[in-house]
Amino acid sequence: MEEKHKYIIGLAALFLVVLGIRFNMAFRYSEFNDDNAYFILRQVEHIRQTGLPLYVDELSYGGRTYIFLPLYHYVLAFFSLFIPLYTLLKLLPNIFASLLMVVVFVLSYEITKNRVASLLSSILAGFIPIFMSETVNSGSSSSLFVPLSLMLIFYYIRLLDHKKYAAHFAFVLLLLILLSPITVVFIIGLLFYLLLCQLERKMVLKREYEISLFSLIFYLWLMFVVFKNTLLTEGTSFVWKSVPSQLVSEYFAGVNPVFAIYSIGALPLLFGIHVAYIRIFEERRKDVFVIIGFLISISLASWFRIIEDKIGLMLAGAILCVLSADFFRNFATWLKKTKFSRHGNALVVLIFILMLMMSIIPSLDLSFIKNRANTPKEDELKAILWLKENTEPGSVVLASPGEGHKISFLAGRKNVMDSNYNYANNPEQRFKDVNTIFSAISEIEAVSLCQKFDVGYIYLSENTLFELGQSGLRFIPSEGDNCFKLVYDEEPLIYKVECRVAMSE
């Protein structure tokens, strides 16, 4: 058997191991650990029924309009023709995410020409803690976006030597833009790459300028076509997804160094930063400049809160895994020149132990924690089913924003608020009002705000009470209340709003 085939078989085996671990964690639960998964399910169902995404949603915020890029939902809708939707949303994203290992191997081999180093970097890529925990049971489009992002880098590096790869680069770029507006970080990354080349007096080919300019113009044009009204009405708040100011710190908190190390893995972080330093200040290779340019762009975008911290960590983690391949290659070369070469097998075992401790275990740990904390439990599903069977169609249910999509998809009822803030009606004020209802001491104030949003029922879960630091609704006395009737007395609690405030003429 040729040596090349041995590594292909090894990579395939590793892919199946990672995929098996992901499937085990995803199918251990019947539901999903991210409320946005239920928004994806509704979109896919609507595409199946009408051929179009659900742009006008009568259940979200009591009725609103969405503007978003639907490629991911169309991909899921196509495969849902052959696979049940719930199964598909656990199956396909994990296949996409596991393919990151393959892309990292190919890209690593492109810059190192060393299969052992590339295989080691692909193992690190299979166990990026933040990437696994955020994609294993959430149905997130990041599972496709991150591998495609590295494919974009791969084709750009190929473009340096072969003009024919311009079409491949343009196609992957189109897919990325149709997946998410944050593709802009890669276009900015090209500009940083060109800047690095100028600073180091590296020759830049004409086609590199052309493809970079094309990417920028094409991105700006498509974003203007799709999001023109959003930009005009919401201005710069669109960049932060119109997230209420009270929640900005959750989405764009800034990267905590300790959390970053744990989320990316200490090995790829240390090895990748070491290689980046060496390549910028000593060897100055253009292909690695491309990767470093993207890494700089992602880091700055996270720092300035242009992209969410979690997305930034996922992308940075994947790129650092690629750079780690260069470290492994250089380490192997150095080892052969020293007396430690006779202990090569022991050092390989040590590397795998370090991978286990610093990447594999943290990946499993974060994934199990998120699954346990965020996946709806049986009693929550039972309560939501009660809403579906015992409330009138068109009823408005008040729940925390992080539970809004579950209410809409599983119960088929209108929510007051969910986590899709763009194009919503004044999400900042609405978030304040929702918190006021849950934490109000005055019953009149609570009734008045419920009347403002035509709330018929209040869904009070343990997660909501934990976020508020409360044991129950403060305005309801222990012996009961006539305005807020407890109609479902198991956990979570469900109250029916039976009073209205008389409006003075």
**Average pLDDT along the chain:** 88
Check residue 348 and give its pLDDT.
77
Q: pLDDT tens digits, residue range 332-379?
A: 887 777 766 666 677 778 888 999 999 999 999 999 999 999 999 999
Break the chain down into helix, strand, coil percent, rounded to 5: 70, 5, 25
Is the pLDDT assigned to residue 46 strictly greater than 90? yes
Is the pLDDT assigned to residue 204 strictly greater than 50? yes
Phi and psi at 367, nearest 5°, equal -65, -45
Check residue 293 and give its pLDDT.
93
Is the pLDDT assigned to residue 16 strictly greater than 90? yes
How many whole angstroms separate alpha carbon 165 and alpha carbon 450?
Answer: 58
- Looking at per-residue pLDDT, the higher value among 62 and 134 belongs to 134
Mean pLDDT of 286-314: 89
Q: pLDDT tens digits, residue range 78-125?
A: 999 999 999 999 999 999 999 999 999 999 999 999 999 999 999 999
Check residue 239 and give its pLDDT.
54
DSSP notation for 12-24: HHHHHHHHHHHHH
Q: Which residues contact 342 (CB under 8 A, 6 or more apart)?
A: none
Mean pLDDT of 461-470: 86
Give SS3 for 238: helix
Check residue 505 and give its pLDDT.
46
Which spans in 235-303 are helix H?
248-251, 257-264, 266-278, 286-303
Q: What count of other Cβ atoms lies within 10 Å of the Cβ of residue 318?
A: 26
Is the pLDDT assigned to residue 50 strictly greater than 80? yes
Check residue 145 and give its pLDDT.
97
| Partners of 495 in beta bridges | 458, 486
Q: pLDDT tens digits, residue range 122-147?
A: 999 999 999 999 999 999 999 999 99
How many whole angstroms separate alpha carbon 69 and alpha carbon 177?
Answer: 8
Is the pLDDT assigned to residue 435 strictly greater than 70? yes
- Confidence at 33, pLDDT banded by 50, 70, 90: very high
Mean pLDDT of 253-276: 85
First to last CA, the chain: 89
Is the pLDDT assigned to residue 296 strictly greater than 70? yes
Q: Which amino acid is at 4?
A: K
Check residue 412 and give its pLDDT.
95
Give SS3 for 252: coil
Tell me which CATH code domain 378-497 carries: 3.40.50.12610
Q: Is residue 222 classed exposed, middle or buried when 0-12, 13-18 and 19+ CB atoms within 10 A define those classes?
A: middle
Q: What count of other Cβ atoms lies within 10 Å of the Cβ of residue 193?
A: 25
Domain boundaries, the chain: 3-30+85-131+142-334+353-374, 378-497
Phi and psi at 452, nearest 5°, equal -60, -35
Mean pLDDT of 160-166: 88
- Confidence at 253, pLDDT banded by 50, 70, 90: low
